[in-house]
Amino acid sequence: MPLPKDRLYTIDDIYNIPDGTRAELIDGQMYMMAPPSTIHQRLVMKISYSIQEYINKNNGPCEVFPAPFAVFLNDDEKTYVEPDISVICDKNKIDDRGCVGAPDWIIEIVSPGSKRMDYYTKLALYRAAGVREYWIVDPLRKTILIYDMEHDDGPVLYSFTDKIKVNIYDNLYIDFMDIIKAIDS
């Protein structure tokens, strides 16, 4: 939910919110973020681990960053996001503050309060910024919606029983059955 639109916020405002408070900034509007649920955090950890394991085995150049991790999508002071998982393959985009520019792959885990933001607002934002691939993982619906924006494909809908090909890699598949088994055990 955005704060009242009586002013435009900047990244300085993000850095001045109280410790422990999370917010994102989109086009000068600040959106407060609720603490994530346990299933949300388990999904973030298991998916991040799967990706990192693949990168390590293949000596890949990409890095995986789970939230909270700052992403400055645009060259302005009005947009700052914290995707649940960011995969960045260009080391020049990474600095001490976070990622400057679009990550190659972003994964958002939908929470009850973030549906509109993840399915609509961030989709448009990430597409415009040049994110190559965007996944929306919805634990309530048990679905994964994938946008292959690099090839202008999508969306493609999968379920938590599917093994899903990652478009930015030649041979990485995320097996959601294995992830769900690990979470449920």
Q: 85: closest CA among 111, 61, 105, 100?
A: 105
Number of domains in the chain: 1
Query: Can you give the pLDDT at residue 184?
Result: 75
120 occurs within a structural domain: yes
For the segment 37-51, the average pLDDT, to the nearest whole number, is 95
Q: What confidence category does residue 93 fall into, taking pLDDT thresholds of 50, 70 and 90? A: very high
Angstrom distance (rounded) from CA 52 to CA 127:
24
* Across 5-9, 34-38, 85-89, 112-116, least confident range: 5-9
DSSP string, 108-136: EE--TTTHHIIIIIHHHHHHHHT-SEEEE
18 occurs within a structural domain: no
**Which residues in 91-126 are b (16+ Cβ under 10 Å) and which e?**
eebbeeebbbbbbbbbbbbbbeebeebbeebbbebb
Query: Can you give the pLDDT at residue 1?
Result: 52
Residue type, 124: A
Q: What confidence category does residue 3 fall into, taking pLDDT thresholds of 50, 70 and 90? A: low
| CATH number of the structural domain spanning residue 138 | 3.90.1570.10
The residue range of the domain holding 104 is 36-184
- For the entire predicted model, the pTM comes to 0.93
| pLDDT higher than threshold 90 for residue 6 | no
Query: Can you give the pLDDT at residue 182?
Result: 75
In this predicted model, what pLDDT tens digit does every residue of 112-166 receive, in sequence order? 888 999 999 999 999 999 999 999 999 999 999 999 999 987 799 999 999 999 9
